Structure 1
């Protein structure tokens, strides 16, 4: 919203899980959106993710650095066009380190570089069920950036998909970082509020960029 009675403030949702509203200014949001549109083009572009049970995720996805598919990583789009995954850009790694520093402090920044980006696109009907980011070999904090429509982000606990959890409103430009005791917490997106993106951004829907450290020993070896 353009004006609020009380500005949104930094909030620790759980130990190691922090929400920083409006972390990306409008210019940086537009720059990141332009990059996402390029990354989403084929080959190795935006795809529908199919689960081993035959279902499909309603949020579509493109990966950088390593290609994620349920529930592993590869260097090619093994569940799509088979093309090599697009490279992970240095500027996203720098963004990830800065995000962790701002949210959790410099001591929380991993020694290993960020080398994975999962970019999910949500239309008005898309959802994401409760899940854990558990396919990496690193416990470095996960960095989540939001562009476009506001969503309800449900952040739970490491033991169960059910309560206790906290629903957080993530708007365009917001940062959410979770590491430490919350690194393996279940989380999901039960709702997207259509038509809430900043008009100047020029995006219909929601983009979420999730940055991770793989922990894989060699770029040439399978995880």
Structure 2
């Protein structure tokens, strides 16, 4: 993300430093958004929107070792080869968590979240597989450093630019105590807002995309009202 937005890569002829960038991330993607701003050259978001961020306080009863192992192990064991996109869609519609997803999101996932075989990992297979190999997904879940750095960064970041939190109203992956702790830490820097999307837990973008869109729209309008104040802290 940092390489792309700072122009260190190739293939996209856009100077993002001249754009009004809003960082939006869900789950581990929220951690990535937070960390992207810590690299050099500097990447400045005008505001950040964190959707059910996978952040946990370090060295407490909520330490993520158990959760990371569970998610990482599940990722490694998951099925990742299907005869076709049609077969994959049929299976996803009948199994959790995919069966609860908004149909539009599921169609996009099957179209762009899968890729044609063979691949480097499966040179002798046919059909379709995950666009992001499951070992990479597991590695993301098992990372312990990123979520600690992101957690510790919150007060400073919230004191620098508007930071908005959007959570699902159902506390499933992350306990309510963890969410309260994160908001308490962020409050030291006076975070901009926090919103709950009804009828969904951690998978807000997949299950309630319309509710998430409304919450993001509200945050963007709230951001513009507080942008001048935030700039004064820089």
Q: TM-score, normalised by structure 1?
A: 0.24
Identify the structure with bigger relative contact order (alpha carbons < 8 Å, sequence gap 6+).
1
Could you say which structure has the higher helix fraction?
2
- Look at both structures and tell me which one has the larger radius of gyration over its CA atoms: 2
Could you say which structure has the higher strand fraction?
1
Q: TM-score, normalised by structure 2?
A: 0.23
